[in-house]
Amino acid sequence: MAERKLLDQYGNPIKLDKGLMKEVIATPSLKGVRAVKTNSVATGLNPVKCARLIKAANEGEIFDYLTMAEEAEELSGHYYSVLSTRKLAIRGVEPIVAAASDDKKDIEIAEEVRAIVEAAEFTDLVAGLIDAISKGFSVCEVIYNTDPNKWTPTSYNWIDPRNFTFDKESRTIPLLLQDGGDPSLLAYGKFVYHTPKLKSGITIRGGLARVVLWPLMFASFSERDWMAFTEVFGMPIRVGKYSGKPTEEEINVLWQAVAGIASNSAAVIPESMTIDFVTSSNSANGDKIFASAADHFNATISKIVLGQTMTTEDGSSNAQAQVHNDVRLDILEADCKGLASTIQRDLIDPYIVWNYGANVKAPKISFPVPKPEDIAAYVEALTKLVPMGLEVSEQDVRDKLGISEPAKGAKLLTISGGDVSPGRDNQKTNETALNALLNGKKRRSADDLLDEFEDDYFDDFVAVSGGLADAVLDGLDEADSFVDFKDALDDAIKSGSSLVDFREQLAMNGFLARTAGDVND
């Protein structure tokens, strides 16, 4: 097979630059285009400012918009909470790596990739990439160990999205800002670039922050006005009264008493003075207006981020929350599929190219979202259909249940869970043998069955003698019927001869022999 030509994500030939792959190139600085310090944008947010930020972002000036998106998570506790819920849900899904085929070489390559995915540093990559949910895109730089035998990723550095811009034509191709030069394309395999694809259009319009911006601003207005309302109407107005013509000193005494009540809740005044507390009728139920408005906008934010409100707002039953949780699982599945696609394209595929060439198929990574309510039914269906002859791929079952392939030398679970050699755990042995007979085994002759029973049950045969043999023989000699023989055995048990295990074993072997005969008849 001819070697495929190596092209990057832009269709350009790939250049293997060892120095580039092992160095950190997207470093921030105190000065320059990738400066660390930035001014606040979200302070004093209003409709005019929001419109200006969005318009500038649409035209390619994304710095202030991304600053606002970052600060929004700090200004609103509700937005931070629901956004964290969505991010943590993604981080809680365990990745699965599947080999490209059953070929021995593909399985070995899959083990290498699985080691990369299971490394502690991989969680940094996932945490960095899911920042794209709010901002529309996220980039992590990959640092490689360029060993002569194998290039392996060792760490992943999240890069502030404000260090990027987009091409002026399509506004979808990310460019890294450079000091004293034009922005540069992202080198193949050096950066992992994730866009969640929440909506069509230019990349900067795809983040949740853009949609959340307006309800977030209105919610802040409601809370700010609520605090102002509380300050004015939350405490009654204190009015001091005096009689006659007081002196200036007496007026000052009354004023100090009225002012001191706010913090001290106590005052001392002459008997000739009085203090009244006047409550405004305009304050009745006024607080409910602001509370209702704030709740409405927070509920809108919950719908935008989680797709539902039942698990974040009061007044829902557990059953209702479970129904709405399914909607959130749909969103989680979409997030995980997009994340897997990005990591496959920008990390796993380049790793295979660096170390094995372009003609080797890469293993596939996925983030399967478990659905506990379906697993029980799935397993139950398998236990019924497989014995009936349905052929099921083991890999399909592993992927469905989220169970990875066991590592070489790992301790494995078994059907019986331990040593079930004859004479030690006959019940488990019988169950295993019976299942084997009933699960579509090839029909065998009577002689083969007798030989199998002899091998299974008489390897550790011990001759019965003494009281046990005498009780059985005497019972047979004296009994005229089966009932008499059974009564004789029961009397022997009561007298101290232990026939329980012996009798149960005879019954079980008889049942197993009858079953084997019916199956092979």
The verdict on 386 and 362 lying in the same domain is: no
First-to-last CA distance in the chain? Answer: 55
Query: What is the C-alpha R_g of the chain?
Result: 38
What is the maximum alpha-carbon separation in the chain? 131
Q: Which of 366, 388, 416 is the last residue of a domain?
A: 366
Confidence (pLDDT) at 322: 46
The verdict on 187 and 70 lying in the same domain is: yes
The verdict on 476 and 383 lying in the same domain is: no
Percent of the chain with pLDDT over 70: 64
The verdict on 247 and 202 lying in the same domain is: no
The verdict on 339 and 379 lying in the same domain is: no
Confidence (pLDDT) at 324: 39
- CB 177, CB 34: distance < 8 Å: yes
Confidence (pLDDT) at 237: 63
Confidence (pLDDT) at 418: 44
Q: Is 115 within the bounds of a domain?
A: yes
Which burial class, exposed, middle or buried, applies to 179 when counting CB atoms under 10 A from its CB (0-12, 13-18, 19+)? exposed
The verdict on 155 and 42 lying in the same domain is: yes
The verdict on 273 and 338 lying in the same domain is: no
Distance of CA 113 to the CA centre of its chain: 20
- CB 189, CB 353: distance < 8 Å: yes
Q: Is 295 within the bounds of a domain?
A: no
Which burial class, exposed, middle or buried, applies to 21 when counting CB atoms under 10 A from its CB (0-12, 13-18, 19+)? buried
Domain limits at 387?
372-401
Confidence (pLDDT) at 488: 77
The verdict on 461 and 353 lying in the same domain is: no
- CB 102, CB 170: distance < 8 Å: no
Q: Is 283 within the bounds of a domain?
A: no
Which residues are within 8 A (CB) of 404 and not within 5 positions of it... i.e. 6 or more apart?
Answer: 96, 97, 114, 398
Confidence (pLDDT) at 327: 45
Confidence (pLDDT) at 420: 39
Confidence (pLDDT) at 461: 56
Give the Cα separation of 66 and 138 in Å (integer): 11
- CB 390, CB 364: distance < 8 Å: no
The verdict on 243 and 381 lying in the same domain is: no
Give the Cα separation of 204 and 170 in Å (integer): 12
pLDDT digits (tens, 9 = 90+) for 176-224: 998 877 898 998 889 999 999 888 889 999 899 888 888 888 877 766 7
Backbone CA torsion sign across 464, 467, 471, 477: positive
Our separate counts of H helices and E strands in the chain read: 19, 10
Domain count, the chain: 4
Q: Is 411 within the bounds of a domain?
A: no
pLDDT digits (tens, 9 = 90+) for 80-137: 889 998 999 999 999 999 999 989 999 999 999 999 999 999 999 999 999 999 999 9
Give the Cα separation of 344 and 366 in Å (integer): 9
Length of the chain in residues, anyone?
A: 521
The verdict on 120 and 182 lying in the same domain is: yes
Residues of the chain with pLDDT under 70: 1-12, 14-19, 29-37, 222-223, 225-239, 242, 244, 261-287, 290, 309-327, 372-374, 415-470, 493-509, 511-521
Place of tokens 């209003």: 46
Place of tokens 């921030």: 28
Instruction: At 212, list the tokens.
Output: 């959340």
The verdict on 435 and 497 lying in the same domain is: yes
Q: Is 53 within the bounds of a domain?
A: yes
The Cα-based distances of 441 to 388, 389, 432 in angstroms read 11, 11, 13
Q: Is 284 within the bounds of a domain?
A: no
Confidence (pLDDT) at 233: 62
Q: Is 133 within the bounds of a domain?
A: yes
Give the Cα separation of 85 and 313 in Å (integer): 14
Which residues are within 8 A (CB) of 226 and not within 5 positions of it... i.e. 6 or more apart?
Answer: 287, 290, 291, 294
Give the Cα separation of 34 and 24 in Å (integer): 14
Give the Cα separation of 185 and 172 in Å (integer): 12
The verdict on 145 and 160 lying in the same domain is: yes
Q: Is 449 within the bounds of a domain?
A: yes
Give the Cα separation of 106 and 354 in Å (integer): 16
